[in-house]
Amino acid sequence: MKFEFKNLGYLEQGTIELADLTIICGKNNTGKTYINYALYGFLETWSSNIEFAIENEIDTLFEYGTVTINLSEYKQIFLDSFEQVCESYREFLPRIFNVKENYFHNSSFKVSLDDYILDRSSSMKIGFAAFSNQKEILRIIKDKNSEDVEITLFIENQKQNLPKNIVKSMLNKGLAQAFAHNYFTDPFIITSERTGVSLFYKELDINKNIIIEKLQSKQDNFKPSDFFEMLNESLSRYSLPIKNEIDFVRNLDNIKNETGDLIKQYPEILPIVEDIIGGKYSIDNDSIFFDFDIESQDTSIPFHAASSTVKSLIGLNFYLKYKAKPGDLLIIDEPELNLHPANQRKLAKLFSRLIKCGIKLLMTTHSDYLVKEFNNLIVLNNDFESKEELMEKYKYTEDDILDKERVKVYIAKQHTLNPANITDVGIEVETFDDEIIAMNNFFDEATIELDAAYDF
């Protein structure tokens, strides 16, 4: 999957192809977060903007409660609609970033499907509900080795009250996913603003505070359009990635008893996260606590009183625990935030394991520790004498090993993205190496002069 863009923030042009692990490095203010936000926005919204000519099928669905659609018959319609979505995504960028409409007027954004082939081999099951935490009203099923999808409507006694445009929107999105689920993964983003989001999410909950106050002030002349206008104003105060991150934290109390598909299949992942954090999170009555041991004594403190590490990793912990599933794309801005080098190394090992569990990662980083630990894991993918002894000595396992073929690294520099070289001994990141060499050179020269000055 390849993305091409022009005039995206600080970046004049660039191409990025996602691997199982994709890393973007570069100095501050070089456009790294712009890429993360733009890719997240596209992956989060593309399927909602695909349009199929399915009015007759919707009529059949409302009349009989079920309808069958052959994907091959709609393949060209999908490809044409997808091309239109890509061409018009520039118009959506201001909404993704929450900026003025003309901010991206010179931008372009293209997505390549690389000789599209309809996936007939895999099965698929998607359910849609009118609102979260409610029963599904529409289900789409595709069996293995089939190009037919079966759509079922579950509102026998309420069809007259359900607008057809809502069903059409659900069906368009479901069919789009049926056509391209093997190309586009479900994204989840953890932004560099995550500490503020997790700490102040209650104060940010303007939906149930400000809106209620405004509605109360309009009691005598309230119109339905007033509600939607105020809701849109409240939701548009943040960029889409931050808004969705806030919504995820707000919803934790509703999903705290769930277990994500990833943890069901790979329960060993959660203890690794808890080892990095140094304890566990708990949720009680819509409040978050941090639980840990002090000299074998169980201790629990309010989340706001916990360390910066605990605050920084809350999104990653709850995503993996409740939401993550194989096939997802996890996008993280600067995962090393507030972490000691020892924990940054543990995080690199965790990411390598997540890749093996089917989670793809896209991350930006300023951490030489993180990159160098990835290099260690890449080195371990080679066969050499005393490898097992070294792994035992430095506490590496087979699960930590990282294949360089699953990694792509880009350097944001001079208003573009440049692919970094990856060899059998790891990733070459000049922006880190140059600074480290400069510091070492200064220290060597300064200490030589200092020794000479005190040499009596």
Task: Give the per-residue SS3 of the chain.
Answer: CEEEEEEECCEEEEEEECCCEEEEEECCCCCHHHHHHHHHHHHHHHHHHCCCCCHHHHHHHHHHCEEEEEHHHHHHHHHHHHHHHHHHHHHHHHHHHCCCCCCCCCCEEEEECCCCCCCCCCCEEEEEECCCCCCEEEEEEECCCCCEEEEEECCCCCHHHCCHHHHHHHHHHHHHHHHHCCCCCCEEEECCCHHHHHHHCCCCCCCCCHHHHHHHHCHHHCCHHHHHHHHHHHHCCCCHHHHHHHHHHHCHHHHCCCCCHHHHHCCCHHHHHHHHHCCEEEEECCEEEEEEEECCEEEEEEHHHCCHHHHHCHHHHHHHHHHCCCCCEEEEECCCCCCCHHHHHHHHHHHHHHHHCCCEEEEECCCHHHHHHHHHHHHCCCCCCCHHHHHHHCCCCHHHCCCHHHEEEEEEECCEEEECCEECCEECCHHHHHHHHHHHHHHHHHHHHHHHHCCC
276 is a domain residue: yes
Q: Answer whether residue 286 is part of any domain.
A: yes
Q: What is the pLDDT of residues 94-132, one digit of tens each?
A: 999 999 989 999 999 999 887 889 988 989 999 988 766
pLDDT range class, residue 22, cuts 50, 70, 90? very high
Inside any domain, residue 397: no
Residue 354 lies in a domain: no
Model confidence at 208: pLDDT above 70: no
pLDDT tens string 181-203: 888 889 999 999 998 887 776 66
Give residue 166's pLDDT: 87
> Which tokens hold the place of 244?
């969705």
Which residues is 112 bridged to in the sheet? 2
- pTM, rounded to two decimals: 0.88
Range of the domain at 285: 251-326
Give φ, ψ of 263 to 5 degrees: -70, -30
Q: What is the pLDDT of residue 227?
A: 47
> Please, what is the average pLDDT of the chain?
89
- Over residues 398-416, the mean pLDDT reads 96
pLDDT in tens, 343-386: 999 999 999 999 999 999 999 999 999 999 999 999 999 999 99
Please check whether residue 170 lies inside any domain of the structure: no
Domain count, the chain: 1
- How large a percentage of the chain has pLDDT more than 90? 69
In a domain, residue 82? The reply is no
- Cβ(26)–Cβ(433) under 8 Å? no
- Nearest to residue 73, comparing CAs of 58, 59, 53? 53
For 237-266, what is each residue's pLDDT tens digit? 789 999 999 999 988 988 999 999 999 999
CA 69 vs CA 66, 99, 147, 152, 195: distances in Å: 10, 40, 8, 11, 46
Across the range 428-440, mean pLDDT stands at 86
- Looking at the domain assignment, is residue 295 inside a domain? yes
In a domain, 301, yes or no: yes
